Amino acid sequence: MSKTFASKRVPLYYQLENLLREKIVSGKVTVGDRLPTESELIEQYGVSRITVRQALMALAEEGLIERRQGRGTFVAERRTRKRPFEGQTHLTGSLDEVIAMGLMTPVKVIEINHVEADPHEAEWLGLKVGDPVYRIKRMRIREGKPYSYIVNCVPAEIGAQLTREELSTGTLLELLERKCKIRLKEATQQITAALADPYVAGLLDVHIGSALLSIERTVFTDTGRRVEYVHVLYRTDLYSYTVHLTRDKVPTVSPRPNSKSVKKS
């Protein structure tokens, strides 16, 4: 593998696609410039012809390049792309907003398993490794397109009360309150970036190695008990976070003295 590529775990065509995209977006190559031929790209990056063609096909579908019969591949005029769905969550610090968002989109249950908590789940739920939990895998749909993959993990005594039919509607938080009579108070969550592995890429209908928004959250009751750990992976072309930032205090700016009016003693 060429030293140009960062990881063996990410498909070469995807890495080549991103290398070429960066050159276009950064302006290293501009509108109308001719890209190297397939043979030149093969020699330059040490990849196969099918890898080059997959990368160029993805860039063409994105509208960044155009392939002209008998002439070559050129950087296309950039046009503003309209996303099919601008899913946004405004960071208000409210669990009610998380519940409301879940009620607005249908969910598909992939599998429900009664398993032992792995080290990561145990840490987030405050359990011991190997403690019994229910691990629930689901997928949310928006306008016929998958846009998030969800893995919920709850203590076994809670998961045993939930049915597949119930988990196919609404949100797990709403079920915890309504059916399990659990009083939810707060949650902590962590937002990071992730890459789509082959399994998740297939579910979300994206390329392997595509950038995803990763959110992990633990939900607490009014007594401080941890009752749910959830890990959600979102398609970044269909979902985003919007955060409104304010100042705690508006700084007071003292007028600076006019140098001409300062008297020397």
Chain segment 151-187, per-residue pLDDT in tens: 999 999 999 999 999 898 778 888 898 899 999 999 9
pLDDT score of 80 more than 80: no
Q: For residue 85, what pLDDT band results from cuts at 50, 70 and 90?
A: very low
pLDDT score of 265 more than 50: no
pLDDT score of 196 more than 90: no
pLDDT in tens, 59-74: 888 788 998 888 899 9
What's the pLDDT at 102? 62
- Range of 45-54, 64-73, 150-159, 207-216 with top mean pLDDT: 150-159
- pLDDT above 70: percentage of residues in the chain: 78
- CATH 3.90.1150.140 correct for 87-242: no
Q: In terms of Cα–Cα distance, which of 147, 122, 149 is closest to 136?
A: 149
| CA 51 centroid distance within chain | 25
Q: In terms of Cα–Cα distance, which of 68, 77, 16, 23 is closest to 207?
A: 16
- CB contact at 8 A, 45 and 18: no
Mean pLDDT of the chain: 82
Task: List the structure tokens of 150.
Answer: 């969800």
Q: Do domains 12-75 and 87-242 have the same CATH topology?
A: no
The residue-averaged pLDDT of 34-52 equals 91
What's the pLDDT at 12? 81
What's the pLDDT at 38? 92
Vertex 18: Cα angle to 57 and 81 (nearest 5):
65
The residue-averaged pLDDT of 105-116 equals 91
What's the pLDDT at 25? 75
What's the pLDDT at 86? 46
The CATH topology of domain 12-75 is Arc Repressor Mutant, subunit A (1.10.10)
List C-alpha distances in Å: 112 to 11, 136, 152, 246.
30, 5, 9, 42
Query: Where exactly are the structural domains of the chain?
Result: 12-75, 87-242
